[in-house]
Amino acid sequence: MADTKWMDRMSLTPENIAFISRLSRLALTPEETTGMVNHLNQFFDTVVAPMQEVDTTGLLPMAHPTEVLQEVALRLREDVASEPDNRELNQRSAPAVENGLFLVPKVIE
């Protein structure tokens, strides 16, 4: 039987929801708070609990989910400019330009 002590820690209380909603700047009514407690605790019971029961002893964490199918190295595309440099054309209509940069008036003293 799997260790289920974590389940006691995972159960949320109305105080937990009030704290989370305050951090999120959400104004929840008492009824909404009760609903969230029930909804989130049901999520823990139906989704998280079965996942916690899976024996992962000896398994290494994956950096990428496709590692199961093939060895994955970071497949980053080459950093190549794909658009032409139109800086001068784009700056023609600017009221003030210096050294390739737009000049803007100071707005904060």
In a domain, 74, yes or no: no
Does pTM top 0.75 for this prediction?
no
Check residue 31 and give its pLDDT. 94
pLDDT tens string 14-25: 999 999 999 999
Check residue 8 and give its pLDDT. 53
Check residue 77 and give its pLDDT. 75
Q: What is the CATH number of the domain that holds 41?
A: 1.10.20
pLDDT tens string 32-73: 999 999 999 999 889 988 988 899 999 888 776 766 666 656
Q: How many distinct structural domains can be found in the chain? A: 1
Residue range 2-18: mean pLDDT, rounded = 71
3-state SS string for the chain: CCCCHHHHHHCCCHHHHHHHHHHCCCCCCHHHHHHHHHHHHHHHHHHHHHHHCCCCCCCCCCCCHHHHCCCCCCCCCCCCCCCCCCHHHHHCCCCCEECCEECCCCCCC
In a domain, 43, yes or no: yes
